[in-house]
Structure 1
Amino acid sequence: MTYPLISIVTPSFNQAPFLGKAMKSVLTQRYPHVEYIVMDGGSTDGSREIIERNAHRLAYWRSEKDGGHAAAVADGLGRATGEILGFLNSDDMLLPGALEAAATFFAKHPDIDAVYGHRVVIDADDVVTGVWVLPPHSDYLMMRWDLIPQETCFWRRRIFEKAGNIDARRRFALDYDLFIRYMRAGRFVRLNRFLGAFRVHEGSKTTVDHATIGKAEIAEIRSDFGLKVSARQETIGSMFSAYVQLRSRLYVEGRGRRRPGAPTRAGYPIGELWGHLLDEETPSSGVC
């Protein structure tokens, strides 16, 4: 197999407790052809020092005031040169083998434009608190309900060039807006394996902003794309969400079919999947 260049962008601002592990989860993928870009918004909490220690392994980085989260991702993706693209927030992580799984699938399915997988949910201490086990992809459902796990999603350059970059005006649902455009312009597939870990903590945007900025922006995006959601469709959405929650709960309880790439239970330290390579400095790899 020929390994295409995969470009990953990490936006960050004052996330030093998590940034190092997010970066390590990319730099220790053992995928042979990665272009990694880190866009820090001028953090004052030690994040710059974490980035500088790994600067020799980055294609580009900066630490200066920027236009915010969406603008940082858009700028980073605009600098990327890879055939496959994605972005990883500074408090999330990729799971082992994620990049190779995406590249291998794309190589075997040239008609597919974007892929995503199941999600592990972790807390501030890297402990698994749950999972998202998603059904096969449906444009109808995913266009109306923002449930594609962003940290698990990768897409081809051709769809990026056809349907565009992140909308830098977005403050919360920048991925939802992007994925609707990509679904309208190309083909998505859900891979039946875990690809990323989503961190829920007190300072995370999902925790702080979902009930206010998040809901309003999701409604605005639906309106912008003409995605009216009737009372009947809201019922379908609630049933879909309940179905995902049930599948996920059964998986965590050990009553669901196992999938590659993830721990088997809640309470599992996510670092064990990596053989603790993410826990401390690893001079032999140059990642710290």
Structure 2
Amino acid sequence: MKKSLVSIILPTYNRAEYLGRALESVLSQTYARWECRIIDDGSTDDTEAVVARYADPRIHYRRQANQGVSGARNTGLAECVGEVAALLDSDDEWLPRKLETQLAYMAEHGYEICQTEEIWYRGGKRVNQPARYAKPEGWFFEASLEMCLISPSCTMFTRRAWEVMGPFDTAMPSCEDYDMWLRACLHFPVGLVREPLTRKHGGRPDQLSVCVPCADLHRIRALVKILQSRKLDETRQGLALEALRRKVEIYMQGCEKRGRSAEAERVWNLFCMVREGKEVPLNTLR
């Protein structure tokens, strides 16, 4: 694995201002055996002109009609040829030893999925990461029920792992990473390089966590999916159902505050169907 071709999947949409920084961090990697698949998800800014400044043959650019970040990542992963894939959001960046260090760690410990520690920036200023976002290592499906514990720009995985856990759910405009990593943690332990080799930039209004409403409903969808997958043993089924109940109650509280009692009742009824073992159509949770 130490000598694997790494396919870097870099989706972007109207991020010309930040894309160059992400690409510079790719080009600065001490590990040189990579390809970078830039998937322009229908940008209307100068994204293509930014990419044109980089003549490196390892960089591949594809433009597609807007499908959202999940569709863009799926396109890149379908076209890549590397034995290992690494995700990088177009507003984040890597430190130079990221690929080299992570590949070596995966090879040494036999991990098929691995992430690194990260440094957080909000509005251009470095901030401390809250303790509840501390990354675990190993098997942690149960902890992943509560919140997303894997950061895309920190993550690398083998082709075999992708074939088991993919693809990203294109029906989810946000929380697609929560959905993906739930499936991943069900099948694989996750390695952790305890060195901050990724810089995560946030605090802008164009980010999915800010501009896409009803994130709680998308998390509910992810939990219903995993419960209806028939892949959970009795213990995990019970834990996932309890996590679903908590998230449904949080969503209902938000609905009641906004005078949406009918929506609160609708989602509670859907939860009752899941609890009783009845099939819930996923298109009712979008």
Scaled by the length of structure 2, the TM-score of the pair is 0.73
Which residue pairs with 2:197 in the alignment? Answer: 195
Q: Within 2, Cα distance between the matches of 1:134 and 1:162?
A: 22
**CA deviation map 1:217-274 (0-9, x unaligned):** 112101211222359988xxxxxxxxxxxxxxxxxxxxxxxxxxxxxxxxxxxxxxxx
Partner SS state of residue 229, structure 1: helix
Letter in 2 for 1:104: A
Give 1:55 deviation, angstroms. 4.6
Letter in 1 for 2:93: M
Q: Within 1, Cα distance between the matches of 2:134 and 2:14?
A: 30
Greater length-normalized contact order (CA 8 Å, ≥ 6 residues apart): 1
Q: Within 1, Cα distance between the matches of 2:39 and 2:245?
A: 42
| Alignment equivalent of 1:128, drawn from 117, 121, 126 | 126
Against the structure 1 CA distance between its residues 129 and 2, is the aligned structure 2 distance closer, same or farther, given a 3 Å change threshold? closer
Against the structure 1 CA distance between its residues 73 and 231, is the aligned structure 2 distance closer, same or farther, given a 3 Å change threshold? closer
Q: Within 2, Cα distance between the matches of 1:159 and 1:104?
A: 17
Partner SS state of residue 8, structure 1: strand
Q: Within 1, Cα distance between the matches of 2:49 and 2:146?
A: 41
Q: Is 2:226 the partner of 1:228?
A: no
Letter in 1 for 2:207: S
Give 1:68 deviation, angstroms. 2.0
Letter in 2 for 1:228: L
Task: Work out whether residues 144 and 222 of structure 1, in 8 Å CA contact, stay in contact via their aligned partners in 2.
Answer: no
Give 1:103 deviation, angstroms. 0.4
Which residue pairs with 2:175 in the alignment? Answer: 173
**CA deviation map 1:47-105 (0-9, x unaligned):** 11001111534442123423222111100011111111122111111223111111001
Alignment of 1:268-283 (within 5 A): none
Give 1:124 deviation, angstroms. 4.2
Letter in 1 for 2:3: Y
Against the structure 1 CA distance between its residues 143 and 6, is the aligned structure 2 distance closer, same or farther, given a 3 Å change threshold? farther
Partner SS state of residue 85, structure 1: strand
Partner SS state of residue 228, structure 1: helix
Letter in 1 for 2:151: P
Letter in 2 for 1:130: N
Q: Which runs of 4+ in 1 moved over 6 A?
A: 231-234
RMSD of the alignment, in Å? 2.3
Q: Within 2, Cα distance between the matches of 1:4 and 1:59?
A: 17
Which residue pairs with 1:51 in the alignment? Answer: 51
Partner SS state of residue 223, structure 1: helix
Alignment of 1:26-41 (within 5 A): 26-41=26-41
Against the structure 1 CA distance between its residues 67 and 231, is the aligned structure 2 distance closer, same or farther, given a 3 Å change threshold? closer
Which residue pairs with 1:219 in the alignment? Answer: 220
**CA deviation map 1:35-58 (0-9, x unaligned):** 100011232221110011115344
Against the structure 1 CA distance between its residues 213 and 26, is the aligned structure 2 distance closer, same or farther, given a 3 Å change threshold? farther
Partner SS state of residue 194, structure 1: strand
Partner SS state of residue 210, structure 2: helix
Letter in 1 for 2:216: K
Greater shift, 144-153 or 68-77, is seen at: 144-153
Task: Work out whether residues 118 and 149 of structure 1, in 8 Å CA contact, stay in contact via their aligned partners in 2.
Answer: no
Which residue pairs with 2:208 in the alignment? Answer: 205
Task: Work out whether residues 98 and 196 of structure 1, in 8 Å CA contact, stay in contact via their aligned partners in 2.
Answer: yes
Instruction: Work out the number of aligned pairs and report it.
Output: 230
Percent identical pairs in the alignment equals 23
**Unmatched segments (≥5 aa) in structure 1:** 235-288
Q: Within 1, Cα distance between the matches of 2:41 and 2:243?
A: 40
Scaled by the length of structure 1, the TM-score of the pair is 0.73
Give 1:133 deviation, angstroms. 4.0
